[in-house]
Amino acid sequence: MSYSDRCTDLQTYFDIKRHQCVSCDMKWIKPGFEFVPNCGYADNGGRRDSHTQKCKDNFWNDGRRGKCQTCSACPTGEKTVHHCNPTVDTQCSHIGETTDPTVKSLKEDYRVEIWSPLIILLACVMVGALTYYIYKKKNKSRQGLIADGNGNVAFLSQRDGQEWKAVLIPQLSAAPLRLVLDDLDVLEELIILLDPEGHGVKCTRHLASHCSFPSTWINYTYSMRDSKSPLKTLLEGVTTKYPEWTVGHLVRLLGEIGRTDAIVVLAKLRPSIHVV
């Protein structure tokens, strides 16, 4: 039976305002009921019937569908623990399986007890693997390739667990220290990195101490930092005091005070810019 000549889907009706078939409104459905054909509407908008009707025998609807469903039958090997009614389908269980909620709860608790240690163990393994990965990554950054700029490569290697020894490629390592003063771009980067004090890292002050300059000279140099960079003053003093020093000497000292970031900058030096 149908109340509409335009809407073949019996769960729709003809909306005369929109001139099209629209779905029946699910707000009309209650558990144990289903839509009547075309929600009870005729094509002219008139009502021919109520929106819904009760499910027939051996049919059910929990209120989430527009049409009642045929009750299920338990398959062979299972028994019926709850017979179908207008709002709930048939419920089955394996023969021998308990339906006692207390027993079911105990079984679920047992499963939790079994799985919880496995989950904790898996989490520990994952944390351990992540810690090892971070350690290896950090260790790798301190041993091996450190920088690669303009064909210049810097390497670091650890010695005695504390002291660091840094090595550049031969042609750059053997270049005169004056090269650092001549390359203004590299010098500016080094000044930005090394002149500031604090933040738990060693600076130009520590580098000057490693170059055997007295503390009075270092303090005076820092007192004049508003007019001239302490690092630039130090490099000028070193090239005068130790004219034989090379870039390699500076790299070694930077490695000893843990400033590998400055070694990376030194790898950008271009030996060709130095004029002897």
**pLDDT tens sequence across 56-76:** 999 999 999 999 999 999 998
Answer whether residue 5 is part of any domain: no
**Residue 65 lies in domain:** 12-94
Compute the 3-state secondary structure of the chain and give helix, strand, coil in percent, each to the nearest 5.
40, 20, 40
The answer to whether residue 6 is domain-embedded is no
Q: How far apart are CA 249 and CA 145, in angstroms?
A: 19
In degrees to the nearest 10, what's the CA dihedral of 95, 96, 97, 100? Answer: 120
Is 1 inside any structural domain? no
149 and 239 part of one domain:
yes
Which one is predicted more confidently, 76 or 55? 55
Residue 235 pLDDT > 80, yes or no?
A: yes
**How high does pLDDT run on average in the chain?**
81
Is 161 in the same domain as 251?
yes
The Cα 259–Cα 200 span in angstroms is: 12
Q: How confident is the model at residue 198 (pLDDT cuts 50, 70, 90)?
A: confident
In a domain, 2, yes or no: no
For position 100, what pLDDT does the model report?
Answer: 55
pLDDT at site 142: 44
Instruction: Please determine, for residue 47, whether its predicted confidence score (pLDDT) is greater than 50.
Output: yes
pLDDT at 72: 94
Pair (243, 228) in one structural domain: yes
Domain count, the chain: 3
Q: Is residue 23 part of a domain?
A: yes
pLDDT band at 129 (very low <50, low <70, confident <90, very high): confident
> Are residue 137 and residue 147 in the same domain, yes or no?
no
- The answer to the question of residue 3 being in a domain is no
The predicted pLDDT at position 238 comes to 93
Task: List all residues 6 or more positions away from 224 whose beta carbon is below 8 Å from its beta carbon.
Answer: 230, 233
- CATH code at 20? 2.10.50.10
246 plus 189 within the same structural domain: yes
Residues 128 and 244 in one domain: no
55 lies in the same domain as 119: no
The answer for residues whose C-beta is within 8 angstroms of residue 87's C-beta and 6 or more apart is: 31, 32, 60, 61, 62, 63
Residues 112 and 232 in one domain: no
Q: Is residue 241 part of a domain?
A: yes
Residue 235 lies in a domain: yes
| Cβ count near 240 (within 10 Å) | 8
Q: What pLDDT was estimated at residue 116?
A: 67
Q: Do residue 194 and residue 117 come from a single domain? A: no
Residues 166 and 257 in one domain: yes
pLDDT in tens, 78-91: 888 999 999 999 99
Residues 127 and 159 in one domain: no
